[in-house]
Amino acid sequence: MTTTPDTPAQRAFTAPGTNIENQAYFDAAREGRLLLKHCAGCGQYHFYPRAICPHCFSEDTHWKESAGQGTIYSFSVMRRVPQPYAIAYVALDEGVTVMTGLVDCDFDQLAIGQRVRAVFRPTDGEATVPAFTPA
């Protein structure tokens, strides 16, 4: 996975707010890696990153690198704006669903169930964010 700059035709991502629970996530994104939180207590992944597992309330959570592969669970294309864009829920192969942007694709060819892979985009701030593109 690599970080590639937006082409002029693509909408810039807004920088996310970072905090102690998600800083490692955004630091990894800057390196082109997608991290997920995994709970040693119940064996499940969760998203958004949290220090305490939302499934079993264990504090025994750890970062694991995602393969960055998934399928589109749902999506919406925003067209009545100066720079059209697509947002989606992507169900990762690890079992969590992430809200994200879809980039480098023909919005008319997107489909629920389509395979996608993670790519990384700069924001209008310092952070880099994961986005997805058709696999």
The binding site for Zn ion (CB under 5 A) comprises 39, 41-42, 53, 55-56, 58
CA proximity to 115, closest of 125, 124, 105, 129: 105
User: Which of residues 39 and 88 has its CB atom nearest to Zn ion in the complex?
Assistant: 39
Count of Cβ atoms closer than 10 Å to residue 56 Cβ: 14
CB of 64: closest distance to Zn ion in angstroms? Answer: 13
User: Which of residues 15 and 56 has its CB atom nearest to Zn ion in the complex?
Assistant: 56
* CA dist., res. 125 & res. 15, Å (int): 5
CA proximity to 17, closest of 49, 59, 51, 58: 49
What's the number of CA atoms in the CB half-sphere (13 Å) around residue 10?
22
CB of 79: closest distance to Zn ion in angstroms? Answer: 40
* CA dist., res. 117 & res. 115, Å (int): 7
CB of 49: closest distance to Zn ion in angstroms? Answer: 13
User: Which of residues 14 and 57 has its CB atom nearest to Zn ion in the complex?
Assistant: 57
User: Which of residues 41 and 125 has its CB atom nearest to Zn ion in the complex?
Assistant: 41
Burial class for 90, CB neighbours closer than 10 Å (0-12, 13-18, 19+):
buried
CB of 34: closest distance to Zn ion in angstroms? Answer: 20
